[in-house]
Amino acid sequence: MTAPGNGLQLKIEGVSKRYFVRRGQPPIQALERIDLTVRTGEFVSLLGPSGCGKSTLLNIVAGFQQPSEGRVLHNGEPIMRPDRRRTVVFQDYALFPWMTVQQNVEFGLKAQGMDPGSRAVIARDFIARVHLSGFEDRYPHEISGGMKQRASIARALVPNPDVVLMDEPFGALDAQTRVLLQEEVARLSADTGKTVVFVTHSIEEAVFLADRVVVMTTRPGRIRSQVEVKLPRPRVPEMRYDAWFIQTVQQLWQSLKPDWQERSDSDAKARH
């Protein structure tokens, strides 16, 4: 992976987000005064309890939503709408069910007007990178959840974006597949040098993958702290047993435990 440079790829300035749910009810404050920068080639994990606004922030960076206050800059330009320079990997795969793996991975290149021959070659290369060679002609319902997510990752990388945004992409997977795909993403981010913003509520996942972990509070989401990850790249499975890794995961758990408990208690009261 190209070492993160001094150049800023993303700059989040004073971003707040409120949702107006129904007339006569107070708005829901999802985010409050988020200030954050992401360097070119950096892998940043957004870590926090469910409902803290991580996905909302990612959607604002993607251009799917606009902040209530503040702004986000991509290479110095305000983000006003989705842009092919930023691609998104969702938790639910978001593959087109009527398209094969090959066709799904080619989709972004086709939208850019690339000729069929060129886009087929590029797509096959990325399909190979995510270890799906031989499955090019399969439809999404014919492959496993882990394979679907590999295809989604390939589709996000194929258009050669500046930034890849990943919204809890392994949340629906079993534990073993999740660990394997974490290692795949670590390898791919090292190979491609892309800037990645990765939303997760898994502390181990955040630390294993990132150059920097940004810890968010419960709603309204604010930045509680940031942790620079001292592990070298490329990341390998043995690093999960590194003393620094274990200590950092434990420290993050202890610092976040009250937030997780508060959120769990709040959810329980809402159900009753």
Question: Would you say residue 264 has pLDDT above 80?
Answer: no
| 212-242 tens-digit pLDDT | 999 999 989 999 999 999 999 889 999 999 9
Q: What is the pLDDT of residues 2-61, one digit of tens each?
A: 344 458 899 999 999 999 887 778 889 999 999 999 999 999 999 998 889 999 999 999
Model pTM? 0.89
* pLDDT level of residue 136 (50, 70, 90 thresholds): very high
Write the pLDDT tens digit of every residue in 155-175: 999 999 999 999 999 987 888
List, as one string, the DSSP characters of 177-188. HHHHHHHHHHHH
Domains, in order of start, for the chain: 8-85+163-271 (3.40.50.300), 94-160 (no CATH)
Q: Give the burial class of 7: count Cβ atoms within 10 A of its Cβ; 0-12 exposed, 13-18 middle, 19 or more buried.
A: exposed
pLDDT above 60: residue 131: yes
Q: Which helix (H) or strand (E) holds 33?
A: strand 28-39
Helices (H) and strands (E) in the chain, counts: 7, 10
